Structure 1
Amino acid sequence: MEDDRITEETNYSRVFARGSTITFVGLILVSVSQLLLRIFLARGLSEAMFGLLFSVFTFFSLLNVFSHLGLNQAITKFVSGYNADNEPEKIRTSIFSSLTTVIGASLLVSSLVIVLSGFLSSYYFESPRAIPLLIILSVWFFFMSFHHFFTSVFQGFKDFSGRTLMRMVRNFTPFLLVIPTIYFFDLTLNRAAVFYLLGPVFSTVGGYWLLRRRRPNAVSIFPFPLSRPMLKEMLAFGVPLILAGFAGTLIGKIDTVLLTGLRSLRDVGFYQAAILAKPMLTFLSTSMAVPLFPIISELWTKEEIDPLREIISRLTKYTLVLSVPVALLFFAFPEEIIRIVYGSRYLAAANALRILAIATVFWGIESVFGGSLKGIGESSLVLKSTGSAAAANILVDLWLIPSYGATGAAAGSGVAFLVGLSVSFYYSKRKLKFSLPYRSLGKTVLGGMMILALAILLKNYLPLSLWLKIGSISLLCILIYFFWIFGTRIITEKDLDILESAVFVPDRIDSLLRRMCRT
């Protein structure tokens, strides 16, 4: 029995590792394309127009939960469970029953925004240029509901390559269209919005085609299966996640909303520049959190608790190990990074970038505990966690934004991420009774503080050019951190076994890493 348990843990660890690797590679490409797109937009538009564009995006992101009523998370859980029980007809029924509801909800929200576009442009955005932007992005919002739904279906099937391909198509489309426009035409606000619109259109068509190829029985339209009892069951799981999702969207997004209302669009532009730390850091945790949800759901359904606890413990450690060095290098070089990426016009965002670099580490670890709670069906506890974080975010923002602008908004996000981490850890620990490798986590933080001190010291005394200074210091710090995590046995041979199950590791490198683990 013990051998069977170990084999079961290893199998799930391999599935998890492969899913994480695929998602990780995809998120790197997506994050790079998003970063480059923001750079081109920031340089092609004025600070105010750059701020207006992302103010409208933030407005729609707050409405996102009303377009799916929690059914995106529900479809991942139900598809995963039905797939584990080998019930293809229930999979198909759950997909189409929930999809019809998503279509109706997203169409209603999009139509309302179009009708109210004049009012919103006058009394909230305070710019007539917001009207066409709201109309174009209302259509974008409608197609995004399809995009999110189909990526959730792929996630439920543990088809992480399909999910990643859809995300890449959506993000690369506007990026590839903006570049030639900047060089050969004038980049206007409305053109940029149309390019964003085409992203989910192409990804939805491609995603449905890919599902038909890989899971033809799951998405065949005829006969069109609908089940009201099944939809009620899915909504019972998903409805608490509407509020949780809204609260989760508020975290970080409310910063932009309140900046728009309490400060100038220029301040919004500064904050959007600082946010570059978030995708660059959260892709590390997201790449592991994406496969976590369906795997936890399946393990919980099968009542296999020991592998579940093992995955949570390891994922927490990996998230911290991967996030710490990148976050601390952002903390050490905020002015230099902003000058390189956006230019000196955005240097006012340096302190906000420094705060967000640390804050996103908290949010990355929170995604492990929050994803675990969703996986076991405790959507009400997810609501408590995200609701507490959102409330903290709003209170701190209202206190600090009027005086400190983008820096105050970043502080609000930091407090929210820490509150969310604390609450989700408390509830997931109480429900699942897992243990964490506290010694490894402590040694990881200590190693991070060492390289931060070294980076700041060398930054102030090395007489090198900007690029050479950042490159050489970053390389040295990462090498020291690498030897630290192996030398102090934060990373063990079991971790290397999981790595090998996900990606090819040359024999020489594998042998070297294992010797470092034993030293």
Structure 2
Amino acid sequence: MPSRSDSGLYSSLRSVTRGASVFAVGSGLSKALGFVFQLLLTRGLGAELYGIYTYGFTIAMFIVNFADLGTSKAILKFVPLYEDDPRKQNRLLGLASLTSLGGSVLLGGGVYVSAPTITELTLNNPLLTDVLRLFAVFIVFYTLIRIVSSVFQSVERQAYKMLLENVTTQTIRILFAGIALVVGASVVGVTAAIIVGTVLTFGIAAVVFLSRTSFHPTLGGSRGDIREFYDVSLPLTFSDVGRLLYRRIDVLMVGFLLSAGSRVGVYNIATVLASLLRLPLTGFNQLFPPIASRLYSNGEIEELQSVYTMVTRWTFTVSLLPAAATIVYAEELLGVFGNAFTAGVTVLLLFVLGELMNALAGPSNYMLIMTDHQYVSMVNEWALGVFNVVLNYLFISRFGLVGAALATVSVLSVINLVRVVEVWYLEGLMPYSLKFFKPILAGLGAGAVMYGLKTFLSGYPLLVIGGVVGGIVFALGLFALGIEQEDKEFFVESIPALESVLP
């Protein structure tokens, strides 16, 4: 029978896994809708106009990532921290809303004014100026949508976040873009339709927020409240800028240094495929931050250690099978997009290793932020971001496309190692144990079986059958090596019917 402390641990883990499960469902649906949206645009606009839209959207999303001045992440810390003080929650949410609105208007206005200059320096197509000015409006409303989503995430109502930020947003984009294309609109008209859809999405988000929560953001509060809030949010803003330098600068530098659209396309497809391996970590991270903040503020360090360890091991375990499949079937997966993309096999393999290192570090970055070390996180992001720019320049100049991947993966591996060591040094928390060898062994076995199937199958049958057989072998391997006692207790408490099934 689990003890009272075990029950508290399992309650926290259930919240994290529930958030991860909702994220998995919502993310899968979002990616399917995203595919339909991209297909709609490419078929309706053609390659050149689609490229103009994509370039404008990419610039807008870069701006959105730090237009809220870190408030979307600060909400994850302060809402659960002051759950017993609703008035302070509302004051902090009011400050977050005002900050996000001001920041997004300022940066959106900057994009609007500088659109002709950006066009001249990049694509040199006057249509891009009109598209960028429309996206200036997008920056404001999409930033506010993300704030509402963060509030739902902070109160562990992940379903609402996924429905608003992913499903509703994508569905409305498809609907409005489709209508624009049917009436014969070009790239500017389609972009305008998408912006109108974004404004509508914000209206829906505001209604859901007011009707499904008890929050009523207000202005006011002491200087101490303001100082406390910005002491967390502003460092996170600089962290976001640094993160962009080591997450996306490689794509920009490939285009700048190699000057070949086909190479950028090959590189981007490899990064997109590898990024799918990030879904388990992103899923578990949906509810880990507010739970970690609550446990740390309540002094429940032992339970925080247990949650940190188990979430890291689960994240790594769930990531291993798709990583093994991607390594074994790298050429076949890239071939789905066309024979030309198989030139990115080495790039894809490097990025898979990088994402495995990401999964192995678990939620270590959120551990730093939620244990009041946000400035450490900021220094990490900037140091590694600058390092990535320098390393990409040197490696791309010497090794071409593979050099970009090698530089970025090296940086990704280093930052994850640094984060784990910092959490251990600053808080004495370490997520690893010998239990990690079980999923590694199961993954190696599944990989060997999937590789063996290449002797008999090829193409789509190999991908489908190999994936299914690999999954079965991986599950059987974990089962044969033995289910960990804490895992068994957690799943039995969550689903009592499993007691007769698990060994």
TM-score scaled by length of structure 2: 0.90
8 Å CA contact retained: 2:326, 2:352: yes
| Residue from 425, 428, 433 that aligns with 2:428 | 433
Task: Report what 2:462 is aligned to.
Answer: 469
Counterparts in 2 of 1:195-274, with a 5 A limit?
A: 196-198=194-196, 200-216=198-214, 218-219=215-216, 224-225=219-220, 228-262=223-257, 263-274=259-270
Q: Distance in 2 between matches of 1:351 and 1:319?
A: 25
Unpaired runs of at least 5, structure 1: none
8 Å CA contact retained: 1:74, 1:238: yes
| Residue from 339, 360, 363 that aligns with 1:368 | 363
Say if 1:179 and 1:338 are closer, same or farther in 2 by CA, change over 3 A. Answer: farther
Task: Report what 1:492 is aligned to.
Answer: 484
Q: Distance in 2 between matches of 1:181 and 1:456?
A: 47
Q: Distance in 1 between matches of 2:43 and 2:271?
A: 16
| Residue from 313, 320, 323 that aligns with 2:319 | 323
Worse-superposed segment, 193-202 or 377-386: 193-202
Query: Over aligned residues, Cα RMSD in angstroms?
Result: 2.8
Task: Report what 2:109 is aligned to.
Answer: 111
Task: Report what 1:74 is aligned to.
Answer: 74
Residues 196-234 of structure 1, C-alpha deviations (whole Å, 9 max, x = no match) = 535643432222212211223x1266xx54555422221
Task: Report what 2:290 is aligned to.
Answer: 294
Q: Distance in 2 between matches of 1:466 and 1:359?
A: 26
Task: Report what 1:409 is aligned to.
Answer: 404
| Residue from 303, 307, 311 that aligns with 1:307 | 303
* Amino acid corresponding to residue 333 of structure 1 in structure 2: Y
Worse-superposed segment, 34-43 or 116-125: 34-43
SS in 1 for 2:164: helix
Q: Distance in 2 between matches of 1:471 and 1:73?
A: 38
SS in 2 for 1:69: coil
Say if 1:392 and 1:92 are closer, same or farther in 2 by CA, change over 3 A. Answer: same
Give how far 1:511 is off: 3.4
TM-score scaled by length of structure 1: 0.87
SS in 1 for 2:156: coil
SS in 2 for 1:303: coil
Query: Could you tell me the percent identity over the aligned residues?
Result: 19
Task: Report what 1:140 is aligned to.
Answer: 138
8 Å CA contact retained: 2:69, 2:234: yes
Task: Report what 2:500 is aligned to.
Answer: 511
* Amino acid corresponding to residue 421 of structure 1 in structure 2: N
8 Å CA contact retained: 2:388, 2:411: yes
* Amino acid corresponding to residue 28 of structure 2 in structure 1: I
Say if 1:292 and 1:256 are closer, same or farther in 2 by CA, change over 3 A. Answer: same
* Amino acid corresponding to residue 471 of structure 1 in structure 2: V
Task: Report what 2:441 is aligned to.
Answer: 446
SS in 2 for 1:275: helix
* Amino acid corresponding to residue 495 of structure 1 in structure 2: D
Give how far 1:111 is off: 0.7
Residues 319-367 of structure 1, C-alpha deviations (whole Å, 9 max, x = no match) = 1100111022122223322333x33454444433332233222223445
* Amino acid corresponding to residue 481 of structure 1 in structure 2: F
Give how far 1:41 is off: 4.8
Give how far 1:488 is off: 1.4
8 Å CA contact retained: 1:55, 1:268: no
Give how far 1:256 is off: 2.0
Say if 1:42 and 1:318 are closer, same or farther in 2 by CA, change over 3 A. Answer: farther
Q: Distance in 2 between matches of 1:171 and 1:366?
A: 31
8 Å CA contact retained: 2:177, 2:194: no
SS in 2 for 1:219: coil
1:387 aligns with 2:403: no
8 Å CA contact retained: 1:51, 1:268: no
